[in-house]
Amino acid sequence: MRQPSQKKKSGKLKKLLIVFFRASVSFGILYALFYFIPFKDFLQAIKLIPVNTWGIVLACFATGHIISALKWRLVVRASGVKIPCGTAIRAHAAGLFANLCLPSIIGGDVIRAGMAVKKKGKLEAITVGSLMDRINDTIALILIACIASLFITKNISAEIKLAFIIIAGFVCISVIFGIICIKFVPTEKFPKFLGNIITKIKHSLNSLLSRPLIAFFAFSLSLAVQSGFIFLNIKLAEAIGINIENALWFWAWPLAKLIALAPVSLGGLGVREAVLAGLLSPFGVETTLSVSQGLSWQSILIATGLISGLLVLITMRRKKQTKNISQGINK
């Protein structure tokens, strides 16, 4: 029988191997892209982005994530847990920073929920709220891509458009089926510990579903924020020299982001750029330009994550100092 320390070491080794594999995929794809793209041309394309344009995109992206944090707070509140605005924004910022260090954005979701749990407890309710928030964003991206595909004036086959509609319908049906399963699954057939967790999840889900207007408003915010991020990508693309119809961006960018969610790379790095280049290439966009645009957007993600981590560190230190001072006064 394995000792606890051996199991712990085995678990750490497994996690390290997963991270190593995902890093290898990301850097392998980037290496392949730059094998075919002259690095000199890439640098020239990046230099075309004015510093003020990059700064405005960064500020707007950060604003979008503040809205996303408040949206997440709204969904979690509907699930039965009230989180202060400051705590929600700080937890969301910690999640953004974690996305730089962890192999997928799901890791950021775990960190965000973990900070909220530390403050308010009620893990199951926060988990349900976070899951519904992630589903909102995913369905919003699929819906945006499906609608945009109908407005692309350049050649795109009817079969591809139909495929998007079928995928969107499948995702929506899967979500509804999952909710039905959670609501009506008999908890008594599970072990007591697991049954208690499912019961709490049911309670949180019922609390969320009893507020359909909040659920609709949160979904509307997801559509608005994701659409806003696409507009920011268009601004970077125009600065680099990519001039295509907006409908193509609203079609290609969500698909690239969705495919990049697959847990095979470091936060989608490399996968997103390769998919975006593949989707835009048939419409006359040079691979050098699409990869340059993708990596310029990656720089926005990295900068936002680093700034978020710094802000979380500063606020935590200030809170600790304030607590120490108050304790000293009370002595």
DSSP 70-135: HHHHHHHHHTT----HHHHHHHHHHHHHHHHHSSSHHHHHHHHHHHHHHHH--HHHHHHHHHHHHH
What integer best gives the mean pLDDT of the chain?
Answer: 79
Q: Does the structure show a pLDDT above 70 at 266?
A: yes
Q: Considering the domain boundaries, does residue 184 fall inside one?
A: yes
Q: Does the structure show a pLDDT above 60 at 237?
A: yes
Q: Considering the domain boundaries, does residue 239 fall inside one?
A: yes
Q: Considering the domain boundaries, does residue 140 fall inside one?
A: yes
For 285, the token pair is 């966009």
What are 101-124's pLDDT values in tens digits? 655 555 566 777 777 666 555 666
Tell me which long-range contacts 233-238 makes (C-beta under 8 A, separation of at least 24): 233/293, 233/297, 235/53, 235/56, 235/57, 236/49, 236/53, 236/54, 236/57, 236/293, 236/296, 236/297, 236/300, 237/289, 237/293
Is there a contact between 33 and 291 (Cβ–Cβ < 8 Å)? Answer: yes
List C-alpha distances in Å: 263 to 47, 103, 106, 247, 291.
32, 7, 9, 28, 21
Q: Considering the domain boundaries, does residue 286 fall inside one?
A: yes
Q: Considering the domain boundaries, does residue 29 fall inside one?
A: no
Q: In percent, how much of the chain has pLDDT > 90?
A: 18
Q: Does the structure show a pLDDT above 80 at 226?
A: yes
Which segment of 173-182, 220-229, 237-246 scores lowest on mean pLDDT?
Answer: 173-182
- Phi and psi torsions of 50, nearest 5°: -60, 145
Q: Considering the domain boundaries, does residue 18 fall inside one?
A: no
Q: Does the structure show a pLDDT above 60 at 86?
A: yes
Q: Considering the domain boundaries, does residue 19 fall inside one?
A: no
Residues constituting the chain: 331
Range of the domain at 230: 40-314
Q: Considering the domain boundaries, does residue 228 fall inside one?
A: yes
Domain count, the chain: 1
Q: Does the structure show a pLDDT above 90 at 250?
A: yes
pLDDT band at 84 (very low <50, low <70, confident <90, very high): confident
pLDDT of residue 1: 47
Q: What angle do CA 206, 85, 310 make, to 5 degrees?
A: 125
**What's this model's pTM, rounded to 2 decimal places?**
0.80
